[in-house]
Structure 1
Amino acid sequence: MGRNPMRAAVTLCAAAALALPLSTAFAAPPAQPAAQARQTQDPVLVDCSGQPQVRPGAYVLACGDGNSRLVSLHWYRWDANAAVGRGTNAVNDCDPYCAAGAFHSYPVTVRLDRPRAGEQNPGEVHYTRVTLTYTDGRPDGSPRTVTYPLAG
């Protein structure tokens, strides 16, 4: 190591420290363009404000007045074809009118499907249909299974 072993050791450590970032930079895979990366992702659920959501814990079905919403959502499938989960549909009975009504909770199975590219952002695929299956009770006059289109 020559006349000054301490200087040689410090120089060797500095050289190794500089070489490490270079080796990891060359080892990293090439970055994908943002649009290409977005297209390979699973579909999203677009909320009332137009924001994409993935596996949300809650979702408003009635954007105009908020009188029907999904809460306590737990997803066990979320892929390119469909998303399936369980949760609760909180529905306002609007009795005697919506502002004075009460919310009632109904357990549901939720299925999202029919993924399509968005009009605003063609690189972003979103689900366009939601199907609710009531598993224990349901709102008055509602069938056991209901399907709604989703905007996006």
Structure 2
Amino acid sequence: MRRSVMGTAVTLAAGAMLTAAMTTASASPPQAPAAQVQPPRTVLVDCLWHRTVRPADFILACGDGNSRLTGLTWKHWGRNAAVAEGLNAVNDCQPYCAAGRFHSYRVTVRLDHPAPWKKNPDVQHFTRLSLTYPGARPEGFQPVMNVPLWD
């Protein structure tokens, strides 16, 4: 009988230890698989301080809207640069801007010079926009125009 009691005690103790080990293991939160950390995207900040990525349109002349990019098709958007093709719609302001007409010019847009955004330093934003006109361009414009972007 003594062996039977001892065997039972050993079996019960082993069962209790196994139950405790399983309870402890199941009480721990499951380990999530290691996710690949994606670096945050560099953004384009618009006139209203909205962050955008691959916008279809973008206002260049925030004060009066007399120059804007339209129909943008993005070929590349990376952390250090972005490239799109589209149109630059520019008001000729003849005889004055309110009476002027908009003319559209084919343009390649390049964004670069990323830097921390003053409004939110954890966000990288492009600080320069370059416009390259492959053909006709607005009067007084060079074939390549560099435009600093607001912070």
TM-score by length of 1: 0.76
Residues of 2 paired with 1:71 and 1:47: CA distance? Answer: 14
Pick aligned residue for 2:30 from 8, 14, 26: 26
Aligned ranges 1:62-81 → 2 under 5 Å: 62-81=61-80
Residues of 2 paired with 1:109 and 1:45: CA distance? Answer: 16
Q: Structure 1 residues 30 and 58 mapped into 2: Cα distance closer, same or farther (>3 Å)?
A: same
Q: Which residue does the alignment assign to 1:41?
A: 40
1:113 to 2:112 alignment? yes
Alignment-mate amino acid for residue 56 of structure 1: P
Q: Which residue does the alignment assign to 2:101?
A: 102
Residues of 2 paired with 1:27 and 1:56: CA distance? Answer: 38
Q: Which runs of 5+ in 2 are unaligned?
A: 1-25
SS at match of 1:136: coil
1:84 to 2:83 alignment? yes
Residue-pair matches, total? 124
SS at match of 1:99: helix
Q: Which runs of 5+ in 1 are unaligned?
A: 1-21
Instruction: Give the CA RMSD over aligned residues.
Output: 2.2
Alignment-mate amino acid for residue 139 of structure 1: P
Cα shift at 1:136: 2.0
Q: Structure 1 residues 141 and 85 mapped into 2: Cα distance closer, same or farther (>3 Å)?
A: same
Report percent identity of matched pairs: 53
Query: Moved runs in structure 1, 4+ residues, more than 3 A?
Result: 25-31
Q: Which residue does the alignment assign to 1:54?
A: 53
Larger Rg: 2
